[in-house]
C-alpha cells in the first residue's frame, strides 16, 4: 500500500464537500460515508470537508469527529479540513483532538486553517465577542505550530500529549491576499486555493497566479511548495443534467448575494461557468477543459468539487467514478492502492 502522505506526480487527487442539503443531518452524513467509502475504493488520496457552525454555509461543525468515524470504515484515503475556522476553536483543544487522531491513524490527516465566515453572532457564541477574526487567527496558528513542535504550553512546562510533530508537515492555510499568503509561506504551510477568488470580479486564475508566486517566493529555503487547487470538476454521462445542476447552484449564489446587498455582475450562465472555472460535461470535455487550467502543472493537490448545485447521491457517485477512472488518469494521476 502506498503511504497516504507520499505525493505522486503530477498531483494527489481529492474531493471536497460542504455536507449540506435539505435532508436531515443523519441522512447527509450517511450519504457522505458512502461517498468516502467509494472514493477510498477508487484510490483517491484525500477527502476534504468544510467546517461551519449552526448550518451556516455548510453542515459539519466537527470534522475530526466525522473523520474518526470514517477512518475505521476505509482503508487508505486521507482526510483534510478546508478549512477549520480558527476563530471558533480553542487552538490547544483542537490540536489535542488532531494529535489523538494522528496517533490512531498515522499520516491520514491534513489540517487546513482559515479565518472562515463566522458572523459576529457566531463569534459571540464561542466567547469571542468584538474580536477580529484575523487577529484571532494569527494568534491561534502560532500556538498550533508551537504545540506540535513540542513547545511548552504553560508556565508549568506542559507539552502536547500525545505528541504529533509530523502534523506540522501537513498544515495548510487559505489566505486571500498576497500579504497573508507571504505570512503562510514563511511559516512553511501548504497553500489552499479556493474554488473561486472571493471578493473580486477579477478572474480567479489571475488572482491565484499572484498568490502562488508570492507563496513560492516566501517559503523558507529547503521547504518544498505544497499547493492545493480546488475546482469544480463534474463529469457526467448526462451532461444536460450536470449543466442544470450547476446552473441552479450559480443562480442560487446570485440570489444569496443579492439578498446580502452585493452587486451582481451582468454575466450569462456560460460566462459565469468560465469565470468560476467550472469544468463539466462528458469526460472527454472535462479532460480537455482541465488541460487548459493555468496552474495545473504547478500544484501538488487537485481538490475537486461537484458544486455549485446539489446532486443526488447517484449523480455524485457517477461523477466521482468518472473522475477517478477517466478524467484524472488522463492527466497523469494514478490511484492510491
- Find residue 13's DSSP bridge partners: 302
Considering only CA atoms, which of 273, 298, 323 is closest in space to residue 191? 298
**DSSP secondary structure string for all residues of 254-286:** HHHHHHTT-------HHHHHHHTTEEEESHHHH
Residue 7 lies in a domain: no
Q: Which residues are CB-neighbours of 233 under 8 A, at least 6 positions away?
A: 279, 280, 286, 290, 302, 304, 305, 306, 319, 323, 327
- In a 13 Å sphere around the CA of 125, the CA atoms on its Cβ side amount to 9
Q: Considering the domain boundaries, does residue 1 fall inside one?
A: no
Please report the pLDDT score of residue 29 as a whole number: 97
* Spans in the chain with pLDDT lower than 50: 1-8
Q: Supply the DSSP string of 142-208, one letter for each residue.
A: HHHHHHHTT---STT----SS--GGGGGGEEE---SHHHHHHHHHTT-EEEEPSS-TT--S-HHHHH
Residue corresponding to grid cell 482503508 = 75
Q: Looking at the domain assignment, is residue 3 inside a domain?
A: no
| Domain-embedded: residue 223 | yes
Residues forming a β-bridge with 278? 232
6 part of a folded domain: no
Residue labelled with grid coordinates 502534523: 167
Q: What is the pLDDT of residue 265?
A: 77
- pLDDT given for residue 36 in this prediction: 98
Question: Which one, of 229, 304, 299, lies nearest residue 15 by Cα?
Answer: 304
Q: What sections of the chain are H helices per DSSP? A: 25-42, 63-71, 91-104, 120-125, 133-148, 178-186, 204-218, 239-259, 269-275, 283-290, 313-322, 328-330
Q: CA 62, CA 73: separation in Å to the nearest integer?
A: 18
- The predicted structure's pLDDT at residue 108: 98
Task: Give the pLDDT score at 308.
Answer: 92
> Which helix (DSSP H) or strand (DSSP E) does residue 56 occupy?
none
Give me the domain span that covers residue 318: 12-330
Mean pLDDT, the chain, integer: 93
From first CA to last CA, the distance across the chain in angstroms is: 6
Closest CA to 80 of 286, 303, 324: 303
Cα–Cα distance for residue pair 9/11, rounded to 1 Å: 5
Question: What is the spatial distance between Cα 140 and Cα 46, in angstroms, rounded to a whole number?
Answer: 25
pLDDT score recorded for residue 9: 63
Cα gap 306→210, rounded to integer Å:
26
Looking at residue 258, its pLDDT comes to 83
Q: Is residue 5 part of a domain?
A: no
Q: What pLDDT does residue 4 have?
A: 46
Give the CA angle between residues 216, 164, 333 to the nearest 5°. 50
Domain count, the chain: 1
CATH number, position 152:
3.20.20.30
Amino acid at each position: 500500500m502506498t503511504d497516504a502522505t507520499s505525493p505522486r506526480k503530477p498531483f494527489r487527487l481529492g474531493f471536497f464537500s460542504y455536507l449540506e442539503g435539505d435532508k436531515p443531518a443523519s441522512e447527509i452524513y450517511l450519504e457522505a460515508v458512502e461517498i468516502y467509502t467509494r472514493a477510498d475504493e477508487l484510490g483517491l488520496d484525500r477527502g476534504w470537508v468544510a467546517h461551519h457552525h449552526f448550518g451556516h454555509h455548510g453542515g459539519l461543525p466537527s470534522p475530526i469527529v466525522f473523520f474518526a468515524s470514517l477512518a475505521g470504515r476505509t482503508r487508505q484515503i486521507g482526510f483534510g479540513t478546508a478549512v477549520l475556522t480558527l476563530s471558533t476553536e480553542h487552538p490547544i483543544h483542537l490540536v489535542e483532538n488532531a494529535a489523538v487522531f494522528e496517533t490512531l491513524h498515522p499520516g491520514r490527516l491534513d489540517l487546513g486553517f482559515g479565518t472562515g465566515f463566522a458572523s459576529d453572532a457566531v463569534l459571540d457564541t464561542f466567547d469571542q465577542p468584538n474580536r477580529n477574526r484575523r487577529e484571532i487567527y494569527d494568534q491561534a496558528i502560532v500556538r498550533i505550530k508551537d504545540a506540535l513542535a513540542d513547545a511548552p504550553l504553560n508556565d508549568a512546562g506542559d507539552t502536547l500529549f500525545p505528541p504529533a510533530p509530523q502534523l506540522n508537515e501537513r498544515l495548510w492555510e487559505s489566505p486571500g491576499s498576497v500579504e497573508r499568503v507571504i505570512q503562510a509561506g514563511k511559516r512553511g504551510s501548504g497553500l489552499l486555493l479556493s474554488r473561486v477568488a472571493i471578493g473580486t470580479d477579477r478572474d480567479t486564475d489571475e488572482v491565484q497566479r499572484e498568490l502562488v508566486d508570492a507563496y513560492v517566493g516566501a517559503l523558507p529555503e529547503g521547504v518544498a511548495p505544497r499547493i492545493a487547487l480546488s475546482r469544480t470538476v463534474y463529469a457526467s454521462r448526462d451532461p444536460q443534467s450536470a449543466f442544470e445542476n450547476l446552473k441552479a447552484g450559480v443562480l442560487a449564489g446570485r440570489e444569496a448575494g443579492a439578498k446580502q446587498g452585493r452587486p451582481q455582475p451582468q454575466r450569462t450562465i456560460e460566462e459565469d461557468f468560465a469565470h468560476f472555472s467550472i469544468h463539466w460535461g462528458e469526460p472527454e470535455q472535462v479532460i480537455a477543459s482541465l488541460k487548459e487550467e493555468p496552474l495545473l502543472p504547478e500544484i501538488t493537490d487537485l481538490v475537486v468539487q461537484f458544486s455549485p448545485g446539489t446532486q443526488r447521491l447517484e449523480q455524485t457517485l457517477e461523477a466521482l467514478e468518472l473522475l477517478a477512472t477517466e478524467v484524472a488518469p488522463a492527466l497523469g494521476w494514478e490511484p492510491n492502492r
